[in-house]
Structure 1
Amino acid sequence: MRFEHETLPQRVYFGSGGAADAVGAEAARLGAARVMVIASASGAGPAEKITARVPVVVRHDEAVTHVPVAAAERARAAATAHAVDLLVSVGGGAATGLAKAVALTTGIPIVAVPTTYAGSEATSVWGLTEGARKTTGSDPRVLPRAIVYDASLTLSLPVPMSVASGLNALAHCVDSFWAPRTDPVDRALAGEGIRALAAGLPAVVADPGGLDGREQVLYAAYLSALAFSSAGSGLHHRICHVLGGRYGLPHAQAHAVVLPYVLAFNAPAAPEAERGIAGAFGAASAVEGLRRLRSAVDAPVALRDHGFREADVEDAVPAVLEAVPAGNPRPVTAEDVRRMLRAAWQGADPLTAA
């Protein structure tokens, strides 16, 4: 066994009901005197409560999915105008992503408070969308200095969105088994993430107001992001970045729908990874384990339900081919992409598209 693995420097607070205390403690530890709070318009109220104990000089509630360049520029300008020395993001991937866009050009540290299972808070990956193209990269400046995980903040997340967001975390885990830089540590983190998601997501569906299931899913989201940040972006995520940036598809739902098609496509060419994924699910095969979980939580089924048109399939093929990562377990042709996207558009059996 021989590999190199980099562990990212980050403090993690995990505990239900303790977000405000943890954010206050971390702001004090960092010596923050001028804090900018970043949230979405719908998340501004909770964000105000969570940051009541820190010296806020500006509240910015323009976080939107896929981080348009124009939104990033407005947030950067606000941070500069108010001489901000700490960013606190409260919300899902949109809020974290906007904070990262500010940190990318300013170096201002971030404390992230996730309210979904997106996982962006635990990675050094940033993404910006301009026109119909989403650009991503990795930079240590965008890695939040600290994460505050408080499962009680996810209680307001509706069950369908909880399921989609949790399956997005699952996609991080699955991709990490064969992504370009994967190693045994990444696969161990991803396997534990799959196990926790397979237990936690059905519990969230069965008891939306309970914390046990949501804590399991939030824990898994963190593990999945650690694995993904180290292993890199695999075929699944490259496809979904095209779908999100080019067609404006909702991030979590796109990941939830596309995952079974990429898994069915890659698994036969990666038997060791397939066995690891299957074992984490406690299933006879990886595809069967994912099918069983999706059935239990009533997962999103078809891209056509989320804004992707049949006419978009052909347009997307060359963009996806251009984004295919080196070292994918199986060569990817235009016909492969076309078949997967068409099947995902209509919600067909993934095995028929593999």
Structure 2
Amino acid sequence: MESFTYTSSPSRVIFGYGASSKLPDELSRQGLRAALIISTPYQTAEANKIRDLLDLNAVGVFSEAAMHTPTDITEMALEVARRLEADCVVSVGGGSTTGLGKAISIRTSLPHICIPTTYAGSEMTPILGETTNGLKTTRRDPKILPAMVIYDIDLTVTLPQGLSATSGVNAIAHAVEALYAPDTNPIIRLLAKEGIRALAESLPAIVKDGSDISARSKALYGAWLCGQCLGSTAMSLHHNLCHVVGGSFNLPHAETHTILLPHTMAYNSPAVPVARRDLAEVLPGANGDPIKGLNSLLDRLGVKRALKDYGLKEEDIDRAATIAVKNQYSNPRNVEEESIRELIRRAWAGEPARSDL
């Protein structure tokens, strides 16, 4: 076996049905008594439930979290945290809320307790993506990683089936890139394959029946593993391109990942034979071809396949390609602007991914 380095994330994780009920005891164990609860405007009901659960140990709710973690929203949240003298932040929701919790925590050193309600997986990463004036930048720091993650399966049951599908594919994307990351290793490959397998099996079941609690449990487990992969390896073309398209053109995060994933995998496919084999092993219907498997999975989930459906204009394609190749980053295949432009065009039009770029 080849030599490798593996660094594990130190978060405390609680997983199970009704797991959020353990939050008061967990805060007490850490001596925390003034939690600021954060959410998006669409998840205030969930945030208020956590506030009621904490009772006097909750100092307030900030419900303005937004996609791509705009820094102006972060400044608003920081002011609220200071005014209420919060001693920790509890994020309740998906990637947008988790991102805001990370942004507050890294600026203040307040402990961040994360309660995910989607399959985004960002709660397991020391990575923060923020947007200022339409430009999204990403940084990595061990201090960004939430101190604790509570996976409450019950809180995911109300996640709409369509959003469940795109959120789950977003998680799969984390593991796909980890399979061919320059710093991947046998442990990460095991986690990635298990995470992808769990999500590929559970997401179609959730789309069929959103109340399938067993499928919900398996999907949340898979998302945890996939997030762990992203947090332990370097990001490549896929995540860079999603940050460009999503952050610069204000496209929804999970949907952008879902649409681009087969295309970015197809682009890198010739350069990653081991990752191709690994991915084909865990995708139902792949029959040795991971691109076929990904296309098939998205068809089964019934998700939209075109970036134009979410507001990307045809005239935006050139600018997106230019931004995508502006900065250097690790990728198993050279990133060429002309090919990336065609990749984005195919994703904009909603064409099936194919390995001919």
Tell me the TM-score range normalised by the shorter chain: over 0.9
Structure 1 pair 180/82, CA: closer, same or farther in 2 (3 Å)?
A: farther
Cα offset, 1:26, TM superposition: 1.5
Say if 2:289 is the partner of 1:288. no
Aligned to 1:46: 46
- The match for 1:257 is 259
Query: Could you tell me which residue of structure 1 aligns to residue 97 of structure 2?
Result: 95
* 1:152 matched residue in structure 2: 154
Give the direction of change, closer, same or farther, for the CA distance of 1:46–1:217 in structure 2 (3 Å limit): same
- Per the TM alignment, residue 306 of structure 1 is displaced from its structure 2 partner at its CA by 0.7
Residues 1:347 and 2:347 aligned together = no
Aligned position for 1:6: 7
Q: Which of residues 52, 65, 68 in structure 1 aligns to 2:67? A: 65
Q: Which residue of 2 aligns with 1:337?
A: 340
Q: Secondary structure at the match of 2:52?
A: coil
**Would the aligned equivalents of 2:40 and 2:97 in 1 still touch at CA under 8 Å?**
yes
1:303 to 288, 307, 313: 307
The alignment partner of 2:25 has SS state of helix
The Cα of 1:238 is off from its aligned counterpart by 0.3
Distance in 1 of aligned mates of 2:237 and 2:139 = 16
TM-score scaled by structure 2? 0.96
SS at 2:136 equivalent: strand
Cα distance, 1:288 vs. partner? 1.8
- Matched-pair identity in %: 39
Partner of 2:325, secondary structure, is helix
Q: What does residue 35 of structure 2 align with?
A: 35
Q: CA deviation at 1:140?
A: 2.1
1:15 aligns with 2:16: yes
* Mapping 1:106-185, distance limit 5 Å: 106-185=108-187
Q: 2 CA distance for matches of 1:67 and 1:281?
A: 32
1:34-75: CA deviation from partner (whole Å, max 9, x where unpaired):
110011122111112134232011211111111111101111
Shift of 1:105: 0.9
Deviation for aligned residue 1:352: 6.2
Q: Distance in 1 between matches of 2:201 and 2:49?
A: 31
Partners of 1:237 and 1:2 in 2: CA distance: 27
Task: Report if aligned partners of 1:164, 1:300 keep a CA contact under 8 Å in 2.
Answer: no
Q: Would you say the 8 A contact 1:302–1:346 is kept in 2? A: yes
Letter in 1 for 2:17: S
Residues 71, 130 of structure 2: 8 Å contact kept: yes
Q: How many residues align?
A: 352
Give TM-score, length-normalised by structure 1: 0.96
CA offsets, 1:175-211, max 9 Å, x none? 1111242222211111111100111101101111111
Unpaired runs of 5+ residues, structure 2, are none
The alpha carbon displacement at 1:324 in A equals: 5.0
Partner of 1:104: 106
Give the unaligned 5+ runs of structure 1.
none
CA distance in 1, matches of 2:176, 2:250: 23
Per-residue CA deviation, residues 262-288 of structure 1 (Å, 9 max, x unaligned), is: 111111211011101111225322112
Distance 1:273 1:147 in 2: 29
- Provide the rounded CA distance (Å) in 1 between the counterparts of 2:201 and 2:155: 20
Which SS does the other structure have where 2:53 is aligned? coil
Match of 2:203 in 1: 201
Q: By how many angstroms is 1:123 displaced?
A: 0.8
Which one-letter code corresponds to 2:40 in the other structure?
A: S
* Aligned-partner SS, 1:53: helix
Give secondary structure in 2 for the equivalent of 1:118.
coil
Partner residue of 1:234? 236
Q: Is the 8 A contact 1:340 1:353 kept in 2?
A: no
Contact 1:240 1:254 in 2 (8 A): yes
Query: 8 Å contact 1:14–1:150 — kept in the other structure?
Result: yes
Once the two structures are overlaid, the 10-residue window that deviates more, 293-302 or 188-197, is: 293-302
Q: Which amino acid aligns with 1:23?
A: L
Contact 2:295 / 2:353 at 8 angstroms: preserved in 1? no
